[in-house]
Each structure stands twice: as structure tokens, then as C-alpha cells.
Structure 1
């Protein structure tokens, strides 16, 4: 029998323990590098690219003195340490956070200091998608400029919106369009931008909404606008644009809103406008349009607002407008329209507002207008209308002061309705001899008899009646 020494036994036990623990040691050793890698990635996801961070700080220091931006926000893209008005997203090709949206001008967003000017380096933020400046540039004159070198990186910019910036002056640089191919929304309104609309605007193939309203733009509407096939909203109102509206406007097949009001536009409304089958809103008021409206205007079945006040049209009211079944507002005031109010207007069942004042309309008011259940504003004043107003007391009460038929000398009101309505500024009809009884607003109003007729009692007659009644009492 062979005896095993105590030393050999201890060695054997040690080897067996090592063999039993080996799998656990292996897992521990292999897991350690993976844990270190994860920690590094998470740390990276909370930080910005250093050059992008530096550009962001430069922009904030140029625009706003609300904070000491570098000290107050050492990691501005981290959700727990960011400010209102900034949005960031994790990059798709790296593990950094990147600025995607910046808002300035009104609290709680960063406000702009009086000396702030437009920061052209904002276009160097490579992942920026949306920029908003509202009431930001109000003291120091500035222009909308882009970098002159090739450092422009914001090819991903989709929305550029500058509203209510009275110190924003100068013209629109064509480079703005050529360097921002992804732009979908461009709003440069309520500023003092001047000059012409650059033809290069046609390069914005993705543009959906264009608003250049309330500026000092001059010149023609460029024919190149017709190339913006994705355009849904076009607002060029309150400028000093001249010339006629180009026929290429009819190529904007997706257009839903067209506002060219308050300019110096001339000529007739282009025939091609009848092709805008998606149009819901059109405003051409306060211009110098004249001549006939396109007959095909009746094909715009989705049209809800047609506003054409204050144009020297000098034509008869088009009967075809009565085919626009979805029309809610029809404003054709002060435009020299003549002839009768078409009876087809009574078919506009969705109409809420009808403004035809200060024209040369003749004839009677269509009876069917009183059946428009949704109308709440009706102005037919200052025309040449005649006959009896065909509205019952329910209609008169519902509209109240929102009904104006004054300034039509040959228009009168049914005597039976003369006591339940507000002042309309017209005479009461005398059905017995087709003459007027008197003004509704006069001191002595017509009286109703038991038969429902109206008897006029003069002031001398009233005097003797009251005198006799007084003598009788005493």
C-alpha cells in the first residue's frame, strides 16, 4: 500500500479547486473589457462634438445675454442640463448629441439683446433642421446673410422662420436658396426686407410653405415660382409687388393657400388659376386687378375663402360663384361690380360672410339669401338695390348689427318686420301705394292696427289727440 504524503494531498486539492473555479474566472475576465466599452459609449452619448459645441456658444453669446452660456450650460444637449429653446438628437453615424432646433426671441426661449445681429455661423451647425427668430432683431439693423466661404454645413435645414423682426433689412440673397436644398418652410415676414424675389427660389424643390408677407419687396412675381411643385402655402401679401400674376401659378397643383393681397398687382386674374384644384383660400384684395374672372373658377370645388375687396373689376357679379358649395367667406366689396346679385348665391349653404358693399349692384335682394342658415355677416350697403328686403324677423334678429343694407335709396323693409329688428337705415315699405311710410329711426314710428296694417300718425295730429284727452280729464 502506497502512502500519499500530506504535501502531495494539499497540492492535489489546490489543482481540483482551480479546475472547478476556472469557468467563473474565464467569464469574469472576458466580461471586464465589455463593461469598460459600454461606459465609454454612454459617456459619449451625453456629450457634443467639440467644434459644434464651440459654434453653438459663439451663436448664443452673439444673440443673447440671458446667461453666461458656457458656465451655465456646460453640456447644453444633455436633457437634464439644457435650456428651453434647444433640441438635440443622437447622431446616426456617431455617438454624439447634435443640435437640431433653436428658438429665439420670446420667453421662455432665449431673448435677444438690443445689439444682436443675425448669426450667419448658425448655418454651420451640421445637424440643424429648424431655426426660429421671433421679435429678435428690433434695434440694430442686420441682414439675412450666409457664409461667403464653403463652410456652410446645414444642408439638412428644413425650416427657417424669421417673424416680426423690424431691424431685418436688405435683400434676399440667392445663395440662401442654392445652399439650403432641403428647405421645406421659409418664413421671412413682418420685417423690412426689400428688393426683388430672386428667381433662384425655384431651386428649393422641397419647399412646402413660403411666406414673405409684410415686407418691402418690389418687382414682379418671378415666373420660376411655378417650379415649386410641392408648394402648399404661398403668402406674398403686404408688399409692393407690381405687374401681373404669372400664368405659371397654375402649375402649383398642391397649393391650398394663395395670398397676394395688398400689393400693386395689375391685369386680370390668370386663367390658369382654375387648375389649382386643391385651393381652399385665395386673397387678391387691395390690388389693381380688373376684367373678368376665370370661368373655370367654379371648378375650385374645395374653395372656402374668396377675398377680392378693393379692386377696380368693373364687371357684373359672376353667376358661377354660386357653384362653390364649400365657400364660407365671399368678399367682393368696393370693386365696381354691377348687375344683380345672382340667385345662385342662395345655393352657398356654408356661407358665413357675404360682403358686397360699395358697388353698383341693382335689382332686388334674392329671397334665398334669407335661407342661408350659417350666415352671420351680410353687408349689402352702398349699392343701388331696390324693392322689399326679403328677410323674416328670425333672420333679422339672428344677424342683428351684422346686417347692413343702408345706403340703398330704393330699398325698404316689410312693415310687419319693422318693430322686431335693429335699425337698418332704410324706410318702411307702404304696400298700399308703393310709397314709404317713413324712416324706422324717426321719432314717430308706424303703428300696428288690429288688421296688421300700419297707420302713420303725424305730429300735429298727436298734439290735438293729447290736448283733447287732457281737456276730457279736467
Structure 2
């Protein structure tokens, strides 16, 4: 008989496990609210006919549910994502008549994530939509992620509309027409881990203490807006930051020295602002996790410092159009062994190109265009072939290559003369291994013979 009991026990436990794991039905009030939300965002779609059953057990993609208490017999909506992203994520579609009334979300007390992708767009219509006012949800809202991506018809400001969402961990608003400034209200979101407000119409100065209490913030991206004034020093208080992108704004003055407090930052982009001529920010050498640094378009001036021994982890560095003078440090080629991209173009750098740059194993783009570099290019044929069009050298009128390399089509570089003598040899330090003294002596002798000095 024992051999008969084992299958019976297995069947019993299978039924028990299925009953435990089966998700309870959706709360009826949330079911009705969800139909209204779907009708609002995607009007014209017969949602009740397409999904007549429980919307947690049989829901359109983009609707996620969970249950939190085994004693309760209901599930709750936790995530809503709208807008076609790909065939693998066929979220409920949006159309030109899409609207969003945050009051419809009130019956969803467990909603944690709300996302809209290309839902409010005036590419087909000129209808504009005010940014929704989420203050109706109250301070007890469970919302942790509020995401709007590529909604150019979304306008208005954020001020006073999201202040109650104190549990937010992710606030993402990119590619919209939302404008206005960021005042002290931003500092109240102490749980934020990601604040991305890129490619909008924000402007004005950011309060100095805006980020002082954001101890959990890992991503701060305010790029491609119209912010101006000083860069808030409180950024240095966000010690958990991994990515900091303030590029394409109008920030001015000095780059704060307390960036040295950001020991975890891997990606730093301050390019195309108006930071003043205070030279290269030496604080970067005290940020041990840096992998990508972009400062292009800020006229900092001065020379490129020899600090690269402390920045060996760099894989990408952009220092274009920064007013740099002097020589390219050899240590960049010696220390930046992991570099894939180096941009030093459109400066006033002079002297020879360090041979060490040609020994970088992983570099795939090297831009030295429009400087005053001179001498013979010291790179091997293999190195130049590997980079191809990503090796950019034009605009250095006294830079030349060996005749054997002219088949590589490196732009308008001159072929080195034999023996090579710089066009500016009488005025600049020659990059050639031969001395110019015998040449000068010969020249003076010839001039004397033809009576130039008589």
C-alpha cells in the first residue's frame, strides 16, 4: 500500500502548491479604474470586449499585478506601461487623442510604476497636453517610478504637480516640451535613485543645495536644457552618483572642486557649457571610478596636465574645443591603456604627436584635427589601418606622413620630405631626429657667397 500513497501525496502537494501560487483576482474597484485608464490613454480600443476577464490573470502587455497578503483574496495593479516600444513589449498603444487624468489612478493604491512612451506627440496633430497634475494622488501614493519618454507635445511645468510623490525612486522625463525651472522642491525627493530630465525646455539657475539630501541618487542627467548659472556644489553631496550628465546647458563659472567626493562616478559629461578659463579640473584625478569624461566645448584654456597615472580606468575622454595649448602629454598614451576614444581636436596643441598614442591597443577613434601639431606622424601602418576614418588628423598643416603610407588616404596630410625639415623649423622646435644647425650654416654660407650681406 505504501507504493500507492506516494503518488497520492505528490498529487495533493501539487494541488496545494497551485492553490498557493495562483494569483487572486484583481480588486473590482481597480478593475473598473483600469478600464477607464485604458480608454483614456488608448481611446477607440474595445478594452472590455478584448479583455472581459480578470485583468490580472489575462491582461494586455504593460499591465502588471501582484498580491501582498495571502489572507486577502485580491490582487493589485503595480505597473502600467503605455506606448509601443517593440514587438517584444506590445504595450497598450497611444494615439493622437491620448489623455491622462491622474485622478483615475487614485483607486490603484499599490501602483508603483507608470510609464508613457511616445504617447503625447504633435507629429501628426498640433494638440498640446499639459503635464499631468499628480498632486491629487496625495502623499500616501506608492508610486516609485514615473517615466515619460519622447512626448514632445507634453508642456507646462513640474512645479506643484509631483510634490506629493515622495516615494519616487525614478523620475524620468526626456524629449518633452516641459519647461520652467527647478526650485527647492526637487530636494524633497530624498529617495530618488535616478533623476533624468534631459532634452526638455527647463531653464534658470538650480539652487545650490538642490541635491544636498539625495544620498541615494545614482543617475543625474539634466542634459540638453537651458540651465545657467553656477553648477550646484551640492552635486558633490550625492556620493552614490554613478552617472553625472549636465552637458549642453549654460552652466558657467568654475567646475566645483568637491567633485572629488564622487568616488563612484563612472560617467561624467560637462561638455558644451560655459565653464570659465580656469584650466583642466585637477579634481578629476581624485575620482578613481571614472571611465568616461567629456568636457568638450568649455574654453578652460591652459595646458593638458600630466595626471593620467591616476586615471588609468578611462575608456573615453573628450577634450575638444577647450583652448588647450602646449604639447600632448606622452603619459596619455602610456597610462590610458583601456582608452577606446580620445578627442583632442580643435585646440591649439603643438609639438609632435606622441608615439605612445599609437600603442593604445583598444583605441578605435583618435581625433587630433585642427591643432598646430607638427613633425612626422609616428604611427604604424597597422595602427592607422585599424582606425581608418576614425583617425582624424586634418588641419595640422605641418604634420606629415611617410610616402609609404600615402595609400592609407589620411586626408590632406603632406608627404614628409627626405630628410624631413619642418616648414617652421626656423621658428619652432623641430620634431625631426636631425639637427637644423648644419642646414642653417649651409644656408648662411650660400647667402654670403651671393652677396646678400654686402
Report the TM-score, using the length of structure 1 for normalisation. Answer: 0.78
Structure showing greater Rg:
1
Matched, 1:391 2:412: no
Rate the CA distance shift 1:289–1:243 in 2: closer, same or farther, 3 A.
same
Q: Which residue of 1 aligns with 2:358?
A: 370
Q: Which residue of 1 aligns with 2:115?
A: 132
How far the C-alpha of 1:419 sits from its partner, in A, is: 4.2
Matched, 1:194 2:176: no
Q: 2:250 aligns with which of 264, 281, 305?
A: 264
Give the number of aligned pairs. 392
Q: Which residue of 2 aligns with 1:361?
A: 349
Q: Which residue of 1 aligns with 2:10?
A: none
Q: Which residue of 2 aligns with 1:426?
A: 413
- What secondary structure sits across from 2:79 in the alignment? strand
In structure 2, how many angstroms separate the alpha carbons of the residues matched to 1:244 and 1:78? 49
Q: Which residue of 2 aligns with 1:408?
A: 396
Equivalent pair of 2:153/2:177 in contact (CA under 8 Å): yes
Q: Which residue of 2 aligns with 1:349?
A: 337
> Which protein has the bigger helix share?
1
Deviations 1:226-266 (A, max 9, x none): 21110100100000000011111111111010110111111
Deviations 1:319-360 (A, max 9, x none): 224531111111111121111111110110001111111110
- What secondary structure sits across from 1:326 in the alignment? coil
In structure 2, how many angstroms separate the alpha carbons of the residues matched to 1:376 and 1:147? 47
Equivalent pair of 1:297/1:321 in contact (CA under 8 Å): no
How far the C-alpha of 1:45 sits from its partner, in A, is: 5.9
| Displacement over 6 Å in runs of 4+ | none
In structure 2, how many angstroms separate the alpha carbons of the residues matched to 1:435 and 1:88? 73
Matched, 1:85 2:62: yes
Unpaired runs of 5+ residues, structure 1, are 1-37, 437-474
Q: Which residue of 2 aligns with 1:242?
A: 228
In structure 2, how many angstroms separate the alpha carbons of the residues matched to 1:147 and 1:295? 43
Q: Which residue of 2 aligns with 1:173?
A: 159
How far the C-alpha of 1:427 sits from its partner, in A, is: 1.4
Deviations 1:162-215 (A, max 9, x none): 0000111000033413x2222111101100110011321222111101100000
In structure 1, how many angstroms separate the alpha carbons of the residues matched to 2:311 and 2:105? 45
Rate the CA distance shift 1:69–1:435 in 2: closer, same or farther, 3 A.
closer
In structure 2, how many angstroms separate the alpha carbons of the residues matched to 1:412 and 1:70? 73
Q: Which residue of 2 aligns with 1:29?
A: none
Rate the CA distance shift 1:435–1:229 in 2: closer, same or farther, 3 A.
closer
Equivalent pair of 1:162/1:188 in contact (CA under 8 Å): yes
RMSD (CA atoms): 2.2
Rate the CA distance shift 1:148–1:394 in 2: closer, same or farther, 3 A.
closer
Rate the CA distance shift 1:128–1:364 in 2: closer, same or farther, 3 A.
same
In structure 2, how many angstroms separate the alpha carbons of the residues matched to 1:423 and 1:61? 59
- What secondary structure sits across from 1:218 in the alignment? strand
Rate the CA distance shift 1:435–1:158 in 2: closer, same or farther, 3 A.
closer
Unpaired runs of 5+ residues, structure 2, are 1-15, 424-454
For 1:17-96, list aligned pairs within 5 A: 46-65=24-43, 67-79=45-57, 81-92=58-69, 94-96=72-74
